Each structure stands twice: as C-alpha cells, then as structure tokens.
C-alpha cells in the first residue's frame, strides 16, 4: 500500500491530475496482486506433478524444457488450441461466468494478504471475515457450473458442493475465530503482528489442524475430492467444459491450495515475521512464501497418500467430529483467555517470547484437553460399534454350532 501511495505522489508531482494518478497507481497495484498468484500457479503445477511422481515412484515431467519446467507452458498452449464447446441446452451466461468466478474467488483473497510489513493490497479491519466470505464464491462458481451445464452428472456434482463445501465452512470459520481472539483483531496484518512473541500454532495447534483439514476439503483435494469423482460422476460439475474454461477451474484449484498455505502462514505461523523482515521487506516476502510452501507440501503429501473417502464418511467426519471439536475448542479457548486475563498472565509486552510462555502453556494445555475429550469420545463410539457388530454375529455363530 505504501508503494501505491508513493507512486501516486510521483505521478502527481509530474503534473498529472491527483485523481487520475491515484486511479493509475491503484490499478497497477491490483494488476500486480492479481498477476503474482497466477504466475505462481504455473510453477505449482510443475511442483505438484513432480511431487506426485516421486511419491508414486515415477519421474514426472522431464521432456519439455530442463527438468520438464516448460511442461505447464506446453499444457497452456494445448488448452488454448482446444475448441471451447458450449452445450446446446446450457444456460450460456451462467455457464460462461462460472470459470472466471472460480479464479476470481482466489484472487480476491490475495487482496488482503500482508506480503511484507509494508506491502499489501488493503488492510481491512474485517480481513478474516472477508477471506471466509470471498472464498465462498468458489462454491458458488461450482454450483453455477453444475446447474447451467444441463447435465445430470454435472448437477449431481453441484449437489455435492452443497453437501461438502458449505458443510466444511463451519469448522473452517470456527478455526479462524481462534487467531482473531488471540490477536484481538480481524485484520490479517494485526494477526501477523500479534505473533511477534509467539506463533499461534503453539498456543492453538488444534485450530491449525482444523483449519488445514477444512481448507483441504474446501478445495476438493484428496481425501475429500468427491466433487470430481470419475468413478460415479464421470468427472463431476465440470464435465461439459473444455479448453481454457476447463483449465480455469483447475487453475483456481491450484491457486486455492497455495493460498490456503499462505493463510496458514498468516494465521498460525507468523506470516512475514522473521529476522530483519522490517529492515528488508523482501526478506519478509521470502519468509511468508517459505512458510506457505511448507504447508503446501504437507497438503500435497496428504493428497497423494490418503485414499478417497465415501461421501457418507466425509459428512460424518465433519458433522460428528470436526464441528463438535471446533465448537468445544472455541469455548475452551475463550474461557482460558478470560482466566489468563483475571489471573494476570497476559503478557505486558506481546513481542516478548518469555512473557508469552505462560499464556501459551495454558492455552496449549486447553488444546490437549479438548483433543483428549474428542479422542476418548471417538474411542467409546468405536467400542460400541464393535460390540454391536459382534452381537449381530453371535446368533449366526450359535446356529452353526447347533448344526455341527
């Protein structure tokens, strides 16, 4: 934002009208913020294919360019040359708007990401709420695609959006509440600055895990990739799309996965915070992208290691485990924060690591308590299910014994 203001001042000093100078500077800032994730996506496609290949004992892209680095460019050229087919019975305006909506949903999130201490699109006071809100546009895009395609398989894929994405937004939003409570602000820049003394991942690891799992489901990545189930839905909501329209859905998905990594870095691991980040802003950007890359690699690891769930298992996991855990987690953290405040354990200097330790230890113990309660409940339910299965098998075993 400082760069935009400085550019506007330079244009104004050069004799340009102040309103026009401000408009040009903001426009260039928007282009920069929107272009960066699009360019990163090209590299991410190569990284993801190489990563999956290594896990599956393959080589991956290796023919086009050194180490196959130009393979994504070749894919883009191929997709641009493909014919864009629109079904005769499709609702054409909505059908054609769905792919851009998918990409826009991710690009809008980057508008509030604090890249460095001084560089960001806009520092909204409701930044966390804004992120959750605009991310839902992706859900709307998939619903638009499924409905407007006039195809029963695409429509079933859209139904799964309602069942999956909207459901997993509940624990996602509850997980975001914890950094907001710890920082006392919904501004993403304030949330990052509140982690000078201690990253929130140490005080609220359960919230980080809940956010990670929910964001994995929100992007439709394995083991939650039921929006594109080839075995029962042919391809899912995007079955009627071809060419660049088809590619835009996947560009949005690749960007969304890395954006989730950036949000994990901002909300739980300090964002741009690191040695000399304020003196050298470029270092802050490197710290942010480095932390985001770690979360991104974990996401790829999960995607290529865990088998796909059934739709009923996925919904049970959300409503019977993640949602109760997220609610209990919010209640316990809110209670402990009040206890910490009354006892006087709130750090006088939030930037001091030592002063943050007592509060962090108390909150961490609260997380351990919530995790123990939920895992004990799951163990109890598992025992009950096994006992019920054994009871059903007992009459059959008795009949065989009598027959013998």
Condensed to tens digits (0 to 9), the pLDDT of residues 156-185 reads 888 877 788 889 999 999 999 999 999 999
Check whether 400 has a pLDDT greater than 60.
Answer: no
Angle, helices 18-55 vs 281-303, to 10°: value is: 40
**Dist CA 41 CA 251 (whole Å):** 7
Peptide bond into 223 cis (omega under 30): yes
Query: How is residue 44 written in tokens?
Result: 């991410």
Q: Is 311 exposed, middle or buried (0-12, 13-18, 19+ CB in 10 A)?
A: middle
Average confidence (pLDDT) over 309-319 = 88
Average confidence (pLDDT) over 329-333 = 95
* Contact status, residue 314 vs residue 229, Cβ threshold 8 Å: no
CA angle 41, 42, 47 (to 5 degrees): 85
DSSP class of residue 319? I
Check whether 2 has a pLDDT greater than 70.
Answer: no
pLDDT band of residue 244 (cuts 50, 70, 90) is confident
* Contact status, residue 107 vs residue 34, Cβ threshold 8 Å: yes
**Dist CA 348 CA 363 (whole Å):** 17
Upper half-sphere CA count for residue 122 (Cβ side, 13 Å): 13
Check whether 402 has a pLDDT greater than 60.
Answer: no
How confident is the model at residue 170, as a pLDDT? Answer: 92
The answer to whether the Cα torsion of 272, 274, 278, 282 is positive or negative is: negative
How confident is the model over 292-310, as pLDDT tens digits? 999 999 999 998 888 888 8
Distance, CA of 176 to chain centre: 11
**Dist CA 347 CA 377 (whole Å):** 35
**Dist CA 365 CA 371 (whole Å):** 10
**3-state DSSP helix/strand/coil percent for the chain, to nearest 5?**
75, 0, 25
Smallest Cα–Cα separation from 154: which of 82, 78, 246? Answer: 246
**Dist CA 305 CA 299 (whole Å):** 10
How confident is the model at residue 199, as a pLDDT? Answer: 94
Q: Is 399 exposed, middle or buried (0-12, 13-18, 19+ CB in 10 A)?
A: exposed
**Dist CA 9 CA 60 (whole Å):** 49
Average confidence (pLDDT) over 196-211 = 94
| Percentage of the chain lying above the pLDDT 90 cut | 40
* Contact status, residue 134 vs residue 102, Cβ threshold 8 Å: no
* Contact status, residue 236 vs residue 229, Cβ threshold 8 Å: yes
Spatial neighbors of 173 by CB under 8 A, at least 6 apart, are 132
Helix, strand, or coil (residue 116): coil
* Contact status, residue 259 vs residue 104, Cβ threshold 8 Å: no
**Dist CA 404 CA 399 (whole Å):** 9
Smallest Cα–Cα separation from 208: which of 33, 53, 342, 333? Answer: 333
**Dist CA 40 CA 261 (whole Å):** 13
Query: How is residue 14 written in tokens?
Result: 């050069």
Beta strand extents in 29-124 (DSSP E only): none
Check whether 255 has a pLDDT greater than 70.
Answer: yes
How confident is the model over 264-280, as pLDDT tens digits? 999 999 999 999 888 88
DSSP class of residue 198? S
Query: How is residue 249 written in tokens?
Result: 């859905």
Peptide bond into 248 cis (omega under 30): no
Mean pLDDT of the chain: 85
Smallest Cα–Cα separation from 140: which of 111, 112, 169? Answer: 169
């Amino acid at each position: 934002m400082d760069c935009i203001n400085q550019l506007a001042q330079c244009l104004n000093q050069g004799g340009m009208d102040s309103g026009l100078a401000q408009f040009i500077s903001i426009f260039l800032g928007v282009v920069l913020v929107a272009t960066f994730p699009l360019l990163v996506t090209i590299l991410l496609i190569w990284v993801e294919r190489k990563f999956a290949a290594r896990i599956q004992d393959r080589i991956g892209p290796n023919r086009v360019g050194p180490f196959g680095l130009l393979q994504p460019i070749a894919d883009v050229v191929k997709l641009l040359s493909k014919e864009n087919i629109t079904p005769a019975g499709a609702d054409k305006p909505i059908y054609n708007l769905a792919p851009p909506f998918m990409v826009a949903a991710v690009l809008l999130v980057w508008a509030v990401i604090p890249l460095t201490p001084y560089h960001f699109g806009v520092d909204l006071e409701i930044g966390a709420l804004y992120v959750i809100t605009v991310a839902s546009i992706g859900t709307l895009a998939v619903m638009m695609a499924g409905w407007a395609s006039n195809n029963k398989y695409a429509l079933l894929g859209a139904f799964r959006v309602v069942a999956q994405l909207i459901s997993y937004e509940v624990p996602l939003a509850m997980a975001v509440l914890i950094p907001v409570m710890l920082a006392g602000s919904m501004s993403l820049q304030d949330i990052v600055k509140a982690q000078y003394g201690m990253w929130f991942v140490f005080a609220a690891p359960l919230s980080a895990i809940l956010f990670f799992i929910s964001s994995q489901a929100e992007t439709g990545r394995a083991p939650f990739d039921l929006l594109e189930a080839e075995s029962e839905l042919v391809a899912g909501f995007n079955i009627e799309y071809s060419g660049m329209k088809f590619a835009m859905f996947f560009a949005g998905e690749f960007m969304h996965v890395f954006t989730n990594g950036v949000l994990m870095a901002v909300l739980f691991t300090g964002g741009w915070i690191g040695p000399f980040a304020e003196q050298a802003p470029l270092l802050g950007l490197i710290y942010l992208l480095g932390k985001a890359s770690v979360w991104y690699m974990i996401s790829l690891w999960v995607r290529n290691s865990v088998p796909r769930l059934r739709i009923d298992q996925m919904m049970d996991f959300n409503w019977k485990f993640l949602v109760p855990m997220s609610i209990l987690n919010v209640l316990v953290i809110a209670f402990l924060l009040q206890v910490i405040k009354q006892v006087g354990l709130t750090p006088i200097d939030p930037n001091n690591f030592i002063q943050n330790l007592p509060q962090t230890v108390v909150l961490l113990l609260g997380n351990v308590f919530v995790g123990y309660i939920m895992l004990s409940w799951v163990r109890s339910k598992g025992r009950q299910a096994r006992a019920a299965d054994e009871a059903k098998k007992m009459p059959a075993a008795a009949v065989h014994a009598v027959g013998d």
